[in-house]
Structure formats: C-alpha cells, structure tokens
Structure 1
Amino acid sequence: MMARAAAPAIPNVVILLANNVRTDDLSCYNPDTPAPTPNIDRLAAGGVLLRHHTVPALTPTANRAAHLTGQMPTRYGLQESEQGVRQILHTLSRAGLPNSTLTYADLLKKSGYRTKAAGGWELGWACESWADACHSPLKHGFDSFHGVPLSVSISEPEQLEESLLPTMQELNAYLEVMANQSAVRSIYRPIAEAAWYQWLAQVVTSGGSLREQARLTAELQQKLDLLLVRDDAVARWPYSLQGMTLPILFESLEFIKSSKRAGKPFLLQHSFLHVHDPPVTAPHRVGNSGVNAYYDSVLELDWAVGRVLDHLEELELLDDTIVYFASDFNDLMSYPPKTSNITDARVPGMFMYRGLMKPHVLHRPTSVLDLLPTVVDVIGKGAELLSMELDGRSLFFPMLTQGENSQRYHYSYRGDDLDSVTIVSEDETDPTIFKLYITKGCQLCKETTLLYNLTADPYQTEAIGPETPTFNQVVEDMRANLFAVPTVPSQLADFWRVMPLPPLFPWAQAAAYRAGVDPAGPAYLYSFLEADVVFAQEPGSDERAGGAASELDPSLPTFYRLAHREVPV
C-alpha cells in the first residue's frame, strides 16, 4: 500500500458554504434522505465529519459573519434586532461587516495567499457610495469577487398605501429613464435622488415597525438589489438566481487553475446559492430528485460540490488542499419535517485534508466559529496577525489525532439575548450532549427553562423534567459557566442602515441595467444556462463553449432549445 504523501508546507484552502441546508438532507448524516448526495458524502468519507456542528445565531447574516471572523456577531452589530430586522435586506443599505474586523481572508492574504470570494456575499456592500465598497469582499481580504452582494428572489411586494404610490411610481420612472437614456443621465440623477428621499420620508412616517417598513421596498427590488458583480463592477442587472450555479462555479474553477499556474497557495470561498427559498435549481435539473423542488436544489448543490472536488483531483491539488463544507443556517426545511418548532442550531460541517488528516467522525459539538482559528492553526501562519479576541477554538489537534473537541459550551443567540446553549457533560468516558433553552428575562428559571438530551433525543421531542436530578445538575453547571459576550447595538435596528439609500446606488453603472426584461425569462437566462448544458454533458470539460441548436442534446427540455438565441443587450 502506498504511503500517504507528506503534507505540503503551505496548503491551499477551499471553503464551501451552503445556504440553508439541514444535516438530515445529506446522506452522510441521514442514509434515509430521499435524495442521496454522493459528492458531499465523498467529502465526508475522505475527511472529518463534524457530527454536531453548530451556528451561533438564528439568521444567515449573523452566521456568515461568524464563520468569516471567528467572533460572535454581537461584537460588531450584525445580530438580528427585535426592534428592527433579522438580517441585511438590501444591497444598497449601509449595514455590513465593519472594516475593523479581521477575516480569515485578511490573514491568509497577508500570509502570501491568492484569495477569491464567489457566490453570495450577504454581508453588506458600501458605506457612503457604491465605489467605497467598504463592506465588500475586496475590503475583507479577498483579491477578487464574482457573485451577488445579496442573494434575492423576487417576492410579492407589500400592498402600498395610496399615499406612497405616486412617489414610488415617480422614482421607478426616473430609474427607468436613467438606465435607458445616457444623454439625460446626469440631468435626471438629482431628480431621481429627490424622489428617492421623498419616498423614504413617507415610509419612515407611515407608521408600523421597521420590519414592516422594510418590506415596502419589494416594489423596487429588481432595480435596487438584483446586481451580479465582478469585483466592484456590475456585470448583470437584474439577475435571476435560477441557472446561476454554473457561471459562478466556472469562475471558482478557473481561479483554482490559475492559482496552480501561478504556483501560489490560494484561498477560495465559494458560497453556494443553494438551497435558497424559493429553490434556484436550473430548469433542466427540475424534477431530478423525484421528491420536491427543495431536494432538486440539494442535488444541484451536491453536483457543484462534486465538480470542485473533481477539479482539485484533476489538477493534483486535492491532497494539498484543506476543504471545509458547512451551511450558514438551518431553516428547518426538511421534507418530511422531523423536528419540533424549537430552534435548531445544528448545521452540516466537515473538513477534508487528505495530505494530513485521516477520515473519522468528531461526535462532540463544534461551531462555525472554529473555522478561522482552525485554518490559522493548520497552515501555521497568521496567528501573529490576530489582534482580536476569538470566540471559536481550533479543531486542528482533535482532527489530527482523531480525538474530540474539548470545548464544553456552545452558545446560540437570538439578537442580543442568549437563546440556547449546547452543553457536553463532564463524563469523559461516555459524555452526553444536552441542549438548554434560556428564556429572556428569566435566565435558568425552572418554570421556563427547557432541557433536552440530544444524545438520546436528537429531534428534541421530550423535555427533561425540572424535577429530575439531571435537570438540576445541568442547570447548576450552566449557572456557574454563563458567558456574557461583548455586545454592541445592532446595525439592523437603525432605519438609515437597513433601508436602500440613494448615495449607495451605482449611478455610474446605470447603463448596465436591462429595463423591461424578465430576469427569469428564457432569452435572458440562456447566456448562463447554455454553459450549464455543455458542462453537464461533459463533466470533465472546463470550456464555456456552446453549440448550434441542432447540436444540443434532444433530451434536454424545450426551454433550452427555444432559448438558444441571442440574449438582448
């Protein structure tokens, strides 16, 4: 048997982040899932499966920030707000990940890595103007970016009050004119800005909560939020999430190839748009699962993960690369539902580093907060650059030695308040994992505190009674170890940080907007989907080639054959 090759001095790093995927929806966690996921299974089987991986918050924005920084989102104000909104809602709002916060991309870039972010960003974009891009990937350690600042699906707008309709229609008309008539763009900008501010003034005085006010912007989603961006330039506007899998994936694969040619270590963060709600499966993959649209999207995610692994293997880089896969959120979307309505902080998680780590399973809880310290530990670089307190802990030693994580407490917050704690008992020979839910305003009160044994009851169907010795023992343990995370006010409680603002609009790139098109229509989508068809037919090909309509596979849906024509520009 051939001996395992020595690990490279500086390994590459590939971060694969899914959107809203549950553990039970992947066959490496649940063999009975109705849609097997062989490629994600391959990643788990070749690496370290994190059986109980957790997130520290209940929203994607907060958890994306946590996984990038190794810090609780309450430290920089990206926690959901009880008085405001749950997450960043608009590309053109001021809320976002502060520049002062270090990310793993910052550390690796300073350590000589090429860095790229692809896919959904979700952590804000600008502060004073589109061009400053203060919250963008380019200001958080990434050399390049191709993807969407915010992954948005067109939703049904709220019914606007009569008083709001004229201003909204006026603003909509000005933006249309600016997009289509370059000669009058400079003339119409101040008029459009005035209408925009008038509309915001009417919204802020319309009454209702900030959450209700924020939903009024759905009328302008297509113009304000649907921007596909390359670095800081708008590449496609509006976009449709459906069919975008391949174009963004292609960028990531090309980055891997160019990094090998350059002979430099690289960091790739690829944030999948799957499994978005509503699902974003390309038309020719709809129905593949035979279950529902959600599982169709899970299968497309699995296919894309397989392409990344295949590409690393083909380029002989897989043994020299740390691959991490996780989900940013758990939206309890499984079919059929197996959980109660209690919040569940568990998400899929796995590391693979074939050059150094042997396949095994970590059973004790871990967290997405552990990613940054683990990467720094594995590559042996960047620790000296850390100037902030981390809330995660490196998993490198337990993964290397096939041991277990020694961290006993994992906290999950609902806004500023502690929602639950995952606790590992002190019994080293046969530890039990408990989940303790803490009620706001009465921490650890017997009447309102809920406790579950996740080892015996992973779906939290039967609470442990407050009269039992186990309940009292765990609660007293928790009482002695409650940890107060430093908290700053949430950015998401501020109207002027949550709402889309005129200065952040990419005025200089207004010509990129395609007025009057259906972003999900066949003709507009085809420039993306043509490449997807070719790629699906030839899995080993890296070419973005297209053929004549007669050369396309006749078994492909009519959608493709009808759409094979020039896309309007």
Structure 2
Amino acid sequence: MKEFQLKTTARTYSILKIAARYSLSALMLLFFQGHCQERKPSLEKPNVIIIFADDLGYGDLSSYGHPTIRTTNLDQMAAEGQKWTNFYVGASVCTPSRAALLTGRLPIRSGMASSMNRVLFPDSHNGLPQSELTLAEQMKKGGYATAAIGKWHLGHKAEYLPTSHGFDSYYGIPYSNDMDNITPFRSAGGYFSFWKSEERKDINTFNVPLMRDTEIIERPAEQHTITKRYTEEAIKFINEKKEEPFFLYFAHNLPHVPLFASKDFEGTSPRGIYGDVVEEIDHSVGQILDELKKTGLDKNTIVVFTSDNGPWLIMNEEGGSAGLLRSGKGSTWEGGMREPCIFWAPGRIEPGIVTDLGSTLDLFTTFSKIAGVDIPNDRIVDGVDLAPVLFNNKTSTRKDMFYYRGDKLYAVRVGDYKAHFLTQEPYSGPEVEEHKTPLLYNLSIDPSEKYDISEANPEIMAKMMKVVKDHNEKMVKGPDMLKDRG
C-alpha cells in the first residue's frame, strides 16, 4: 500500500510538473500573442517618407560613382537599405514626372504631358485634374496623416495645390525655383545665356513664393535657407504625427538652378556650388533618418530617396551628372529618366543592390497596398507592387518601361532591351529624328547606349514592337492640361 502511494505521489507530481510546464508555455504564448497583437497595427501601417530631389542625376551621389560629391548619409542609407540601379521616373522633366509619382499613371493619361509646354508655369491656367487620384488620397483612406513639403509644380491655383489633392498640409514653393524671374530673359540674351550673368546669384531675381497651405508667407523665398527650413518642417511633422501612421512627401526644389546653399555648406564642396547644394540635401536626409532613430520610428518607417529627372546638362558646371548614362534632363536617353533610388527600412528591408526594373509609378501601388487600400479599378494604373522585392527578395514584376517626351512615345524598354523610335537632344541640337529601323540597345551590357544592335536582333525587335502595339491600342490620352497659358 505504501509503495502504491509513493508511485501515485510520484505520478501525480510528474503530471503536475508537466501541467505547470504547459501552463507556463501557454502563458508565454499568450504574452507573445498579446505583444504581437499590440504591435500588429503599427507593423501593418508603416510610416512612409518619399524624398524627391529636383534635377539630381544618376551619377551625383558618391554611392552611385561621383568622385567629389560626398553624400555620406545617402551612402549609409544605401548600405542599410536597397540600392536600385534600374529605377525610372515617368518623364524627363518636372511636372509630368511628379504627376506620374503621385498618380501611379503615365502622365499622358492625366493630360499632364504636352507637345506645347513641357511643364506648368506661373501663368498656366490648369494643374493636376481633380479626377486624378493621388497617393496622398490613398494614404488618407488608410488612416494616414499626410503632408507635402517642398516643390509642388502640379498647379499653383488653390484648386490644384496639395491641400486639394489629399494632403493635410503644405509648405513649399508651387513651381520651379527659377520661375517668376524679374529680369526679362530677352534682355539677358535668352534663358540659357542668363545663367552666365551675376544676377542668377541674387535671390531677389527670382520672385518665387513660399507657401503654407494656400497662403503666400514669403516672397521671394529665401533660397539660401530653404533646404534647412524644409528639413525643420519635416522633423516637426514627424514629431507631431509620431503616434499615428503618416505619409510625408518631401520634394526638394534643388539642385534645380538657381543654386543656393546655406552658410554652413556654401563653398565647402570640391564640386563647387552644385556639390554644396547636393551635400546639404544629403545632410537633410541624415537629419531625417537621425530623427526617426531618436524617436524610435526607424523600425516602423519606410524612406525612399530618388529624383524627378536627370541632370540639366546644358547648365554646365551648375548642372549635375548622369554618370555613365547617355544625355540628361529633357531627353528619353537613359540619363534623362533613370535615377538613383534607395529604399530604407531597418529590420524590414534587407540590405542589397537591386538590378530589377522599378519606377516612381510603382510607389502609388506599393504604398497603397501597404496602407491596406485597394487600387482603383475605374482607370488604368501603370504601377506594380514592389513589396515582394523590398521585403521578400522576390523578382520585380515590372518588365517594361515607356519613355514619353511630351505626348509622344519615343522609346520602350522590355527586359534588358531598349528600342528608340524617335530621338531628340534636349534643349539644343537637331530636331526630332524618326528611326525607320528603331535603334536597339542591350542596357545590361551597354547602359551608355553606344552600340545599336538592331540589325542583328530582328526577333527581339519584333517582340518589342508587339509590346508597343498593345500599349498604343489601350492608350487613351487625357486632355492637354499644360497648353493653356497667359
């Protein structure tokens, strides 16, 4: 009997011990489930910051090959994130490129590309149509606070400003920083001759307004300190909205000419004033990333850095560099539309170099889906979802890119190959050249577009012509919103 009691006691102890162990496991499971559930909303709704430079070339960052411009913060951002080497914008000049980013649609669809005027001007009548759905409006549907800081250039009238397109607030200039020039270009020998004059160094020559929401708060904008003040506004917004998901569209108006840097940066770069400006933008990026780390938001924020189009080469030393790419701003050669692009999200995006195709068109789709918002089905959206590439090391589903200049299709890229149907040098040189046999380049082997291989590859050309035919059959061009001025 005693032996039975001892065995029973031992068995009971073992059962209790097992039960206790499972209870502890259950408690730990409940704890971790509760912890995950507590964090789940923020992980599903990461903050999004898009930093968009103006006229920055593919070769203007040290991490993309520039030998004398020191972009240490962007280089660190690239080392900690994904550096994309085949990333494109929707157009080679300001207005249509910005429309492409914010709508996820080729700008020809929204009428934000024109054969008459390449961009909007201070006397333009129109802007981005209200019928277009912007990324800001999508993010608001997902419960995000939204802000636009910097250059807009999608319409300066109240009905076209950021606050009419899904942004809760706006602080910046409504168009390019060289507009509202009080010196007649005619008396200065024309626009491009003007940039050789000393007047270009005086902010009072450019009567561009600085706005808050729909009100002008400074005119002319003090451009020496504008990068610094944009950054301060961005940091203020981050801190004000850190308890809720937020979307910040931070669009610098530099290094577009005229070039101005603050006292701390002017005269400090071996690349001259252009280098001063780019290095101050790099410093601004560092301040944004530092603030995210300081507030603990770095683990729950996705930051993208890219540029609106290639460098304005005709500005000589006051313009940037496309590196090994051909041509620059205003052209459909690679230098006009392929841009540096860095995605950064510590712990979420694994560091690496991505050679797949991507585009600013894809930001609309990618971030809409991250925000849990459906892509509209009442219009053609040209963007694809880059999330599988960013977070799961998958292959990009973008397989082609269409290169428009104004309202005409000049070139197409399909996979590694690019065909040019029309070519034109930007701002100077001969008129449009139409190629009866399109020029063909393998961009993986020849990113500088030096070696036409069309004669040796008729089967590749046939495949590309099929892609163009399908594209043209489905293309519906929007009414020209840029033509009306005066």
TM-score under structure 1 normalisation?
0.67
Residue deviations 1:62-120 (CA, integer Å, cap 9, x gap): 00010001011111111132xx2210121x53221111111111011122111111111
Pair 1:293–1:445, CA change in 2 (3 A): closer
For 1:103 and 1:434, locate their aligned partners in 2 and report how far apart those are by CA, in whole Å: 31
Match of 1:252 among 229, 234, 248: 234
Shift of 1:384: 6.0
Counterpart-to-counterpart distance in 1, 2:322 and 2:411: 25
Superposition deviation, residue 27 in structure 1: 2.1
Question: How far off is 1:337 after superposition?
Answer: 6.6
User: Which sits farther off after the overlay, 483-492 or 301-310?
Assistant: 483-492
- Aligned partner of 1:408 among 384, 399, 417: 399
- Within 2, Cα distance between the matches of 1:414 and 1:305? 31
Cα distance, 1:336–1:62 mapped onto 2, change above 3 Å:
closer
Match among 388, 406, 418 for residue 435 of structure 1? 418
Q: What does the per-residue CA deviation read over 1:326-358, in whole Å, with 9 as the maximum and x for residues that have no partner?
A: 101112544597544462220111222224221
1:477 pairs with 2:479: no
Q: Which amino acid aligns with 1:152?
A: N
> Could you tell me which residue of structure 2 aligns to residue 70 of structure 1?
104
Q: Distance in 1 between matches of 2:205 and 2:284?
A: 29
Residue type matched to 1:409 in 2?
Answer: D
**What fraction of aligned residue pairs are identical, expressed as a percent?**
31
> Which runs of no fewer than 5 residues in structure 1 stay unpaired?
127-132, 161-217, 425-432, 500-569
Offset at residue 319 of structure 1 (A): 0.8
- Are 1:467 and 2:449 matched, yes or no? no
Structure 1 segment 50-449 matched on structure 2, within 5 A: 50-81=84-115, 84-90=116-122, 92-126=123-157, 133-153=158-178, 154=181, 156-159=183-186, 226-260=208-242, 263-331=243-311, 332=313, 333-334=319-320, 338-341=324-327, 343-344=333-334, 345-379=337-371, 381-383=372-374, 387-424=378-415, 433-439=416-422, 447-449=436-438
What's the offset of the Cα at 1:242?
2.5
Call closer, same or farther: CA 1:51–1:324 in 2, change over 3 Å.
same
State the shift of 1:378 in Å: 2.3
CA-CA distance at 1:491 after TM superposition = 2.0
2:45 aligns with 10
Work out whether residues 150 and 225 of structure 1, in 8 Å CA contact, stay in contact via their aligned partners in 2: no
Deviations 1:163-187 (A, max 9, x none): xxxxxxxxxxxxxxxxxxxxxxxxx
**Structure 1 residue 230 displacement after superposition:** 0.7
Amino acid at match of 1:473: E
1:268 Cα deviation after fit? 0.9
- CA change 1:8–1:452 in 2 (3 A) is same
Question: SS state of the match for residue 403, structure 1?
Answer: coil
SS in 1 for 2:163: helix
Counterparts of 1:20 and 1:245 in 2: how far apart (Å)? 15
- Indicate conservation of the 8 Å contact 2:384/2:397, yes or no: no
Matched letter for residue 259 of structure 1 = K
User: In structure 2, how many angstroms separate the alpha carbons of the residues matched to 1:241 and 1:387?
Assistant: 41
Q: Which runs of 5 or more structure 2 residues have no equivalent in the other structure?
A: 1-35, 188-199, 314-318, 424-431
Contact 1:281 1:297 in 2 (8 A): yes
The answer to whether the 8 Å contact 1:365/1:422 transfers is no
Distance 1:444 1:21 in 2: 27
Amino acid aligned to 1:279:
L
SS of the residue aligned with 1:361?
Answer: strand
Listed as ranges, the matches of 1:509-548 within 5 Å are: none
Q: Is the 8 A contact 1:58 1:329 kept in 2?
A: yes
Q: Return the letter of the residue paired with 1:74.
A: I
TM-score when scaled to structure 2? 0.78
8 A Cα contact 1:229 1:235, kept in partner: yes
Residue 22 of structure 1 corresponds to 57
Q: What amino acid maps onto 2:401 in structure 1? A: H
Question: Which residue in the other structure is 1:453 paired with?
Answer: 442
Q: Give the aligned length.
A: 410
2:28 matched residue in structure 1: none
Q: Distance in 2 between matches of 1:155 and 1:285?
A: 27
Partner Cα separation in structure 2 for residue 349 and residue 384 of structure 1: 24
Matched to 1:245, the amino acid is T
Task: Measure how far apart 1:222 and its partner are.
Answer: 7.1
Cα distance in structure 2, aligned partners of 1:135 and 1:274: 22
CA RMSD, 1 decimal: 2.8
User: What SS class does the counterpart of residue 247 from structure 2 fall into?
Assistant: strand
1:427 corresponding residue in structure 2: none
Query: How far did residue 156 of structure 1 move?
Result: 4.4
- Secondary structure (helix, strand or coil) at the match of 2:225 reads coil
In structure 2, C-alpha distance between the alignment counterparts of 1:23 and 1:337, rounded to whole Å = 6
Measured after TM superposition, the shift of residue 13 of structure 1 is 0.9
